[in-house]
Chain A
Amino acid sequence: MKSKKAAAIVRAALSIRKSKLVKPRKRYLVFEIIAISGELSNIKRSHVEEAIKMRSQHLFGFLGYGSVRPSLIYYDESEGVGILGFKHLWRNHVFLVLSLIRDIGGVKVIVVPVATTGTRRKAVKLAKKA
């Protein structure tokens, strides 16, 4: 016990922090696509997936995309609501990627993040409500 306390004091004095291993947790982002010009129904799931992939690679490169790797879990083509799965460590990166998407399948759009949840079931519930 005493040695632990001493180690903590030494660590504090040298300002060495004990590195904490953070377990990546799953997160689900519910988002909504608002069409500004063109029809929302023209946007297919594959278009959304492609847009997210292209923007991620553009912003973070292939290596960054490999780490962030957002996956489109659900997309309602009639409502323009979708769910994106990712790890909690990359939440800000995913928000940034969504803000870069201005055009999907030739339709000018704005992508609005609605909510982030920890379970898929809750995310689907929110997506159906949005």
Chain B
Amino acid sequence: MKIHQLSLFLENKPSQLTEPCRLLADAGIDIRTLTLADTERFGILRLIVSDWEKGAHLLREAGYVVNVTEVVAVEVPDRPGGLAELLGSFENTGINIEYMYAFTFGHGDTAVLIFRFDNPDAAIERLKSVGISVLGSTEVYQRIEK
């Protein structure tokens, strides 16, 4: 199961982050998690939101360049070695991780990892074959709302 991530181009200047967040907030769209990739010259804001279609439409209307990417969400035990085991399952498969980010929920004993694979379908196959559960979007939201 792949989930949809929104990416926005931001210039590297003060207060660039505020406006898109406010736009989503005003429309009642919840940001589940986000990560900001920044360079000296520009930034890319990546978001998982409660309604990606509405969110993408809204941001595009406001003049942002928005890219919708399919990413994979995986739940791992929140303990030492949890991530290492997961990453180990990709050894010698030729599957490349473009980038990833993680979030924990504060209560509960698992963390959710968001992966951007070069080949998400192959990655999902691999994860299933080693018995690791891949989360759908509703499950991701349920985990967060628990």
Q: Do A and B bind each other?
A: no
- The interface of chain B, by Cβ under 8 A from chain A, is none
- The interface of chain A, by Cβ under 8 A from chain B, is none
